[in-house]
Chains A and B, each alone.
Chain A
């Protein structure tokens, strides 16, 4: 299990928040520390994931693609088959158990790709809680289908229009809400970032992924995999896929960041590899941030809204500093290529975030031998990316359909007087 040293992982982590947020963080920490070693609590969580989200998710061999690439055997850990379509729900269901114990009636969350927001909206609906989801206005445009569903589920989705209008700004705004509402509201942070105890707490729930990989690979491969590859936004699916193997050096752990369009400032979200990130303290914690010499956090870019973030989990910053996790990156173009390849060869539609893991994993698998095994964490499914993929592969037919649908929807609105 991942344990911090008083909130720190090496030099990274900590709790740098306005005083007003401190009582809620200590309350959460006390509750979590009291539960995390209790096998009954873990079992309660696992059962909830089974009953509600279909866990355990399968470990799927990619027989055709592995053969085609001619290297190691590639396996996908199918987090895309979770209810809501991504790993984000593991953490959210876990935090839901904590919310019930704290007796809070309202939850807030930040979201980039909308998967965490969607998972939070689902949890809130199920538990009868009020929910407000903060999402950058830019990301709302990129992931509108998730916004649509969050609202249908009864959540209030608030577009954030400050700065670059992406995940970083959504997180800032969630913290501002929390400063006013902390006594009655729980902040469901969506990744292994932010002030202690969030990095540790989110990793704890997400580690269910690697628990399953360990057991499934023994059963299906007859041994542990040689490598595990995962995409890295804030870092929660990666840490979830790595956690059970940290003490097993034979299993290489590879994190793939968003290489965007180039290594120019503002064109990527690479913090761990290439020395692009520098140590800083912001958004409640100390980690490697993309920032300028004046300590202003920088702009980021990725084709995947969920990887488009300036900071990274302090746990991954530490593990990559230690050499335990190997950071690499994949460009937008490599990602759309890997996306198509998986879809056409194996019939699986990945999220663009997860397709970074595919791009990085395929590249590595090609260099390996056929008796070796690579597990790629397929963190989410690609349904939410229909508009982005349509843009990456423009087709007249799709554009014409959108025009007809827009006309129908405008007409309907006029008839029914909706708002």
Chain B
């Protein structure tokens, strides 16, 4: 499940469904679970991922050539949710593939597969609000994003509609570059906490053990994604899982 407010930092990592292949996804996810990752995003690959940097853009492109799709994500979810009950699986997608699948049907099937939350970066809060009763009934948490330039009244609106956690985008830009965790960042976190009791998942630019140490005590979840996908791409899923394990042990 999702951590409680002020729990110790947990690691969220990532799978792009179909990258490097559908078979490899299962092995990689087992490796992440073994390494101590507590939350895993299953990303539906998309042709036009506008919130992602080049690592994930290229992974999406590869994944689409290797059978990645909404249906493949649901199938994978079914298997990995059953096999790794200690891990919370989150569906990450751009809106169009879900929209084409049919949102209502998608929500039902995702919940039935054991998915606990959803991150959809191009799905604005106004469009999500009407779905909340249905999502709440299914136990499927829409995890909404707050960014450094989100105005306070909008932070309020977003945190109200969000469930499970708040996804705190650490800085301006897309995924895949580094972030600085100074005083400005601390103020940003403090500001968001004024509006919500939900745990905070910080993402964009979490790439090293130092980043994790910096976030420890500030956030409940650190999204360690692009760097992991780069390890997976360059060294294979086994080595990537080993590296993840080393990093998690270093901060424990």
Contact = CB atoms under 8 A, between A and B. Distances in A.
Interface of A: 14-20, 22-23, 162-163, 168-169, 172, 175-176, 179-183, 278, 280-284, 289, 291, 293-297
A17 B70 contact: no
Nearest to B50: A175
Contact of B64 (A16, A176, A296): A296
B169 interface: yes
A175 B95 CA distance: 16
A187 to B, nearest CB: 12
B122 interface: yes
Interface stretch (B19-27, B146-154, B192-200, B220-228): B146-154
B149 A294 contact: no
B191 interface: no
B228 to A, nearest CB: 20
B139 interface: no
A16 B127 contact: yes
B47 A23 contact: no
Contacts of B121: 18-19
B174 A176 contact: yes
B169 A20 contact: yes
Interface string B85-110: 00000000011111111000000000
Contact of A295 (B51, B98, B158): B98
B2 interface: no
B236 interface: no
B48 A282 contact: yes
B184 to A, nearest CB: 14
8 contacts: A18-B122, A19-B147, A20-B172, A20-B173, A182-B172, A284-B50, A284-B122, A296-B64
A294 B100 contact: yes
B69 A281 contact: no
Contacts of A22: 124, 150, 154
B145 interface: yes
A162 B124 CA distance: 26
Which of A15, A162, A176 has the largest count of B CB atoms less than 10 A from its CB?
A176
A337 to B, nearest CB: 33
Given A20-B149, A162-B58, A176-B53, A280 B99 contact: yes
Contacts of B57: 162
A169 B61 CA distance: 12
A294 B97 CA distance: 5
A162 B174 CA distance: 16
Contacts of A14: 127
B97 A295 contact: yes
B6 to A, nearest CB: 25
Interface string B1-34: 0000000000000000000000000000000000
B50 A283 contact: yes
A282 B121 CA distance: 11
Contacts of B64: 296
A23 B144 CA distance: 16
Interface residues of B, number: 42
Given A16-B127, A282-B94, 10 more contacts: A18-B50, A19-B124, A19-B158, A23-B150, A162-B57, A176-B173, A289-B96, A294-B101, A295-B98, A296-B64
Contacts of B150: 19, 22-23
Which of B46, B50, B124 has the largest count of A CB atoms less than 10 A from its CB?
B50
Contacts of A291: 96, 100
B48 A283 contact: yes
A163 B61 contact: yes
Contact of B173 (A179, A281, A282): A179
Contacts of B50: 17-18, 172, 175-176, 179, 283-284
A16 B122 contact: yes
Which of A18, A22, A169 has the largest count of B CB atoms less than 10 A from its CB?
A18
B123 A295 contact: no
Contacts of B158: 19
A27 to B, nearest CB: 10
A301 to B, nearest CB: 16
A266 to B, nearest CB: 13
A393 B111 CA distance: 59
Contacts of A181: 172
A272 B250 CA distance: 56
A162 B145 contact: no
Given A182-B149, A280-B99, A281-B95, A17 B172 contact: no
B186 to A, nearest CB: 20
A172 B123 CA distance: 16
A18 B145 contact: yes
Contact of A281 (B47, B96, B146): B96
B61 A294 contact: no
Given A182-B149, A183-B172, A284-B122, A297 B47 contact: yes
A23 B61 contact: no
Interface string B53-76: 110011001001000011100000
B137 to A, nearest CB: 24
Contact of A296 (B46, B122, B173, B174): B46
A22 B96 CA distance: 19
